[in-house]
């Protein structure tokens, strides 16, 4: 009788797939080739035939119909097995960007079985928050959940923030509803500028004019008496209209060069409390936690940055976030893991952050702190990154590439480039700077167009609704999107200077003079925002401020440590 070794496998495409190895030398064995049909002389499926009897999109591997694009045991080809901790993504074994614990890729920032380090198991009553086992029922920094912080003066009781007796929690602050003019009687109920809050009610301790509380001693519209308005150029001082030789802001005579509430312009208040010659002194927005911070990006609610280099006690890699309104700085990538090692390029859209690590992996991290998702592996670190509604774009030394927001097969949209660096995108084109030129290409690719030549060491680039700005050896250049000739906005000697755009100004850093500057979009109005800034690596702009990352390294007895901060200055 014929002998056969039969391996039963799961159903594939509605039919059973059997791997039959029959000894042709035994009685009943034929050894005949089933031909293209994939069926041998005995009518059984032969996986050595083309197609192996598998449906489209599947490959016959060792007796099974598998999808080699996702099968970790047959990743890209039959028998090409990934390591136990590596998933198979688009036919390639994906790197573990977290920590490998017992052949499993884990997030030690949140894994209760490997909290902070492999094998550190949190008690059942604890959660793993940022690599530490904490009791979210009592933790001020993680009250009710990881990252849910309470004000300093509050306590965490039963997983809820509790303010001291007589106070209420309003917008992450403990306030006295009986006297707080911004929360008078209830959270969010603000009193008028001239009113005070007494017993939880807005009251007027001054004078009433037409039913409104008025300060007759300082109100230029009602100076000394209701209806007595000061003439232009006068302000109300002590209930008397008085000439103002400097500037009037909100009816008051001020010196804009030194007034911390009207620094350089009416209403520009300095958080530092110090106004010097019309410029607010910068303040520290966040510490970089013994690391040299990388690039900075800003959206309407928060500032984001990376840790580019850190000492041995603090691996580089986390992406950090702090709200513009305040609160603690929190890591979005796991703090203890090298989740995004040495990340530099960073871009934002409404929901996520896009970065590239030193291995050339393009990653996507949700703004709420999800584990990084691999979108593409480029093989070398990107020099710049940008994002629009459909794709992520990045520059390598010799080409420009893109991939969909959910990953897929990367596309080269421009090749044969010379040290492509900064990249920007608008609704029609991708723009980038190289060592010599500034280029653009349609979003779908095609023939690249040269916008400017002789741009040695072109680096940072940004696009507005009507113009393109970039830094190159010798200064900042601008070209209109309608086809005008390039023009020089400002000349300086700095190299590879970070650049950021606001609605009315361009911001940049000169690494020779170590100054952060501001200038109008058409040139002119040059203002030095900060001096003696060492090691600046990134710039970002909000509606009212400019942010930058800066750091430096220390070496002592062969041990290198890092230090740095995220800074803020009113723009």
CA distances to 386, 440, 473, 481, 518 from 434, rounded to whole Å, are 16, 11, 11, 18, 24
Predicted pLDDT at 430:
98
Residue 446 CA to residue 433 CA, distance in Å, equals 17
pLDDT over 80 (residue 239): yes
- Please say which residue of 480, 497, 514 terminates a domain: 497
Residues 420-477: pLDDT tens digits? 999 999 999 999 999 999 999 999 999 999 999 999 888 899 999 999 999 988 789 9
Please indicate, yes or no, if residue 455 is contained in any of the structural domains: yes
pTM metric for this prediction: 0.65
Q: Write down which residue in 477, 497, 517 finishes a domain.
A: 497
Rg (CA), the chain: 32
Indicate whether 483 and 384 sit together in one domain. yes
Residue 279, in any domain of the structure: no
540: closest CA among 300, 373, 356?
Answer: 300
Identify the DSSP state of 286.
Answer: E
Residues 454 and 358 in one domain: yes
The whole domain housing 234 covers 214-251
Tell me whether residue 477 is in a domain: yes
Q: Verify that 325 and 444 share a domain, yes or no.
A: yes
Strands (E) in 299-383, as ranges, are 302-310, 319-323, 326-331, 346-348, 352-356, 361-366, 373-377
User: Distance (Å, rounded) from C-alpha 247 to C-alpha 240?
Assistant: 17
* 564 band by pLDDT with thresholds 50, 70 and 90: confident
- Cβ pair 28, 12 in contact under 8 A: no
Residue 7 pLDDT exceeds 60? no
Per-residue pLDDT for 182 more than 90?
Answer: no
Let me know if residue 554 belongs to a domain.
Answer: no
Rounded CA separation 171/147 (Å): 16
Neighbours of 277 (CB within 10 A): 11
- What is the pLDDT at residue 37? 39
Question: What integer pLDDT is reported at residue 43 of this predicted model?
Answer: 35
Tokens of 535: 């090691």
Lowest mean pLDDT among 97-106, 333-342, 392-401: 333-342
Cα→Cα distances 562→41, 79, 287, 315, Å: 72, 45, 12, 11
365 lies in the same domain as 232: no
Q: How far apart are CA 128 and CA 120, in angstroms?
A: 10
The size of the chain, in residues, is 571
- Is 571 within 8 Å of 544 (Cβ atoms)? yes
Distances in Å between the Cα of 335 and the Cα atoms of 110, 141, 346, 394 are 10, 15, 18, 26
What CATH number is given to the structural domain containing 387? 2.120.10.30
Tokens of 77: 């080809």
pLDDT band at 229 (very low <50, low <70, confident <90, very high): very high
Q: Is 330 exposed, middle or buried (0-12, 13-18, 19+ CB in 10 A)?
A: buried
Helix (H, G, I), strand (E, B) or coil at 112: coil
pLDDT of 333 reads: 56
Using a pLDDT cut of 90, give the percent of the chain over it: 41
Is 274 inside any structural domain? no
pLDDT at position 541, please? 96
476-500 in b/e form (b: 16+ CB < 10 A) is bbbbebeeeebeebbebebeebbbb
The residue from 197, 227, 251 where one domain ends is 251
pLDDT band, residue 245 (cuts 50/70/90): confident
Give the pLDDT band of residue 129 (cuts 50, 70, 90): confident
In this predicted model, which residue has the larger pLDDT, 340 or 246?
Answer: 246
Structure tokens at 195: 């009113």
Q: How many CA atoms lie within 13 A of 217 on its CB side?
A: 4
Specify the 3-state DSSP secondary structure of 490: strand
Q: Which of 521, 432, 424 lies closest to 480 in space, CA to CA?
A: 521
Q: pLDDT at position 342, please? A: 60
Task: Say yes or no: 337 and 236 in one domain.
Answer: no
Among 83-87, 228-232, 500-504, 555-559, the range scoring the smallest mean pLDDT is 555-559
Say which residue, 87 or 12, is predicted with more confidence: 87
**Sign of the dihedral through C-alpha 413, 414, 419, 423:** negative
20-24, 215-219, 513-517: which is most confident: 513-517
Let me know whether 419 and 489 are in one domain. Answer: yes
The model's confidence at residue 81, banded by pLDDT at 50, 70 and 90, is: very high
Instruction: Specify the pLDDT at position 343.
Output: 63
pLDDT at 312: 54
Contact between 315 and 336 (Cβ < 8 Å): yes
Do 247 and 328 belong together in one domain? no
> What average pLDDT does the segment 134-141 reach?
90
Query: Could you tell me if 306 and 226 lie in one domain?
Result: no
> Is residue 408 scored above 80 in pLDDT?
yes
Confidence of residue 550 (pLDDT cuts 50, 70, 90): confident
Cα separation, 324 vs 211, in Å, equals 37
Predicted pLDDT of residue 15: 28
Tell me: the pLDDT tens digits for 479-521? 999 878 899 998 876 666 789 999 999 999 988 888 999 999 9
Identify whether residues 241 and 304 lie together within a single domain: no
Read off the pLDDT band of 341 (50, 70, 90).
low
Q: Are residues 223 and 330 in the same domain?
A: no
Q: Write down the pLDDT at residue 410.
A: 93
Highest mean pLDDT among 238-252, 395-409, 484-498, 552-566: 395-409
Q: In whole angstroms, what is the distance from residue 26 CA to residue 15 CA?
A: 28
Q: Kindly indicate the confidence band of residue 557, based on its pLDDT and cuts at 50, 70 and 90.
A: low
Residue 170 lies in a domain: no
Residue 287 lies in a domain: no
Taking the C-alpha atoms of residue 17 and residue 2, their distance in angstroms, rounded to an integer, is 20
Mean pLDDT of the chain: 82
**527 occurs within a structural domain:** no
Same domain, 361 and 224: no
Query: Which one has a higher pLDDT value, 253 or 291?
Result: 253
pLDDT digits (tens, 9 = 90+) for 55-80: 998 999 988 999 998 898 999 999 99
What mean pLDDT comes out for the span 325-334? 72
- How confident is residue 311, by pLDDT bands cut at 50, 70 and 90? low
Say how many domains are in the chain.
2
Q: Do 314 and 368 sit in the same domain of this protein?
A: yes
pLDDT at site 560? 67
């Amino acid at each position: 009788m014929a002998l056969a070794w039969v391996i039963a496998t799961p159903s594939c495409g509605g039919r059973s797939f059997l791997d039959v190895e029959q000894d042709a030398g035994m009685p009943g064995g034929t050894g005949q080739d089933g031909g293209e049909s994939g069926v041998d002389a005995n009518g059984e499926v032969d996986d050595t035939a083309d197609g192996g009897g598998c449906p489209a999109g599947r490959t016959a591997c060792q007796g099974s119909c598998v999808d080699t694009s996702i099968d970790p045991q047959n990743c890209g080809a039959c028998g090409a097995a990934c390591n136990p901790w590596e998933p198979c993504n688009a036919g390639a074994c994906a790197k573990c960007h977290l920590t490998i614990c017992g052949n499993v890729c884990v997030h030690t920032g949140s894994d209760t079985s490997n909290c902070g380090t492999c094998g550190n198991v949190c008690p059942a009553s604890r959660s793993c928050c940022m690599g530490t086992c904490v009791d979210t029922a009592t933790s001020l920094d993680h009250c009710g959940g990881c990252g849910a912080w309470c004000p300093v003066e509050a306590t965490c009781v039963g997983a809820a923030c509790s303010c001291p007796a007589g106070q209420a929690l309003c917008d992450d602050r403990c306030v006295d509803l009986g006297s707080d003019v911004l929360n008078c009687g209830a959270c969010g109920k603000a009193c008028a500028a001239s009113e005070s809050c007494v017993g939880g009610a807005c009251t007027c301790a001054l004078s009433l004019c037409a039913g409104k509380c008025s300060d007759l001693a300082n109100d230029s519209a009602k100076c000394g008496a209701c209806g007595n308005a000061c003439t232009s150029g006068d302000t109300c001082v002590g209930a008397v209209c008085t000439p103002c030789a400097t500037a009037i802001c909100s009816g008051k005579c001020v010196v804009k060069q030194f007034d911390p509430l009207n620094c350089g312009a009416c209403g520009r208040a300095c958080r530092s409390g110090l106004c010097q010659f019309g410029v607010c002194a910068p303040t520290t927005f966040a510490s970089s936690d013994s690391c040299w911070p990388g690039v900075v990006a800003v959206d309407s609610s928060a500032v984001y940055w990376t840790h580019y280099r850190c000492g041995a006690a603090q691996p580089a890699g986390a992406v950090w976030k702090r709200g513009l309104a305040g609160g603690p700085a929190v890591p979005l990538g796991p703090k203890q893991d090298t989740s995004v090692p040495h990340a530099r390029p960073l871009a934002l859209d409404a929901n996520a952050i896009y970065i590239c690590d030193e291995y050339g992996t393009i990653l996507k991290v949700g703004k709420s702190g999800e584990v990084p998702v691999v979108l593409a592996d480029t093989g070398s670190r990107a020099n710049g990154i940008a994002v629009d509604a459909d794709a992520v774009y990045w520059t390598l030394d010799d080409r420009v590439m893109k991939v969909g927001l959910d990953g897929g097969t990367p596309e080269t949209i421009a090749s044969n480039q010379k040290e492509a660096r900064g990249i920007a995108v608008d609704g029609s084109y991708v723009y980038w700077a190289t060592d010599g030129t500034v280029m653009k290409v349609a979003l779908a690719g095609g023939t690249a167009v040269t916008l400017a030549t002789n741009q040695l060491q072109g680096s940072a680039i940004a696009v507005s609704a009507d113009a393109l700005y970039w830094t190159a050896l010798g200064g900042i250049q601008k070209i209109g999107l309608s086809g005008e000739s390039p023009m020089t906005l400002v000349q300086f000697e700095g190299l590879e200077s970070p650049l950021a755009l606001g609605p009315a100004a361009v911001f940049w850093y000169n690494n020779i003079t170590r100054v952060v500057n501001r200038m109008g979009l058409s040139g002119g109005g040059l203002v030095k925002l900060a001096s003696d800034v060492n090691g600046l690596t990134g710039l970002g702009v909000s509606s009212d401020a400019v942010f930058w990352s800066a750091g430096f390294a220390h070496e002592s007895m062969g041990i290198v440590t890092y230090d740095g901060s995220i800074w803020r200055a009113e723009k």
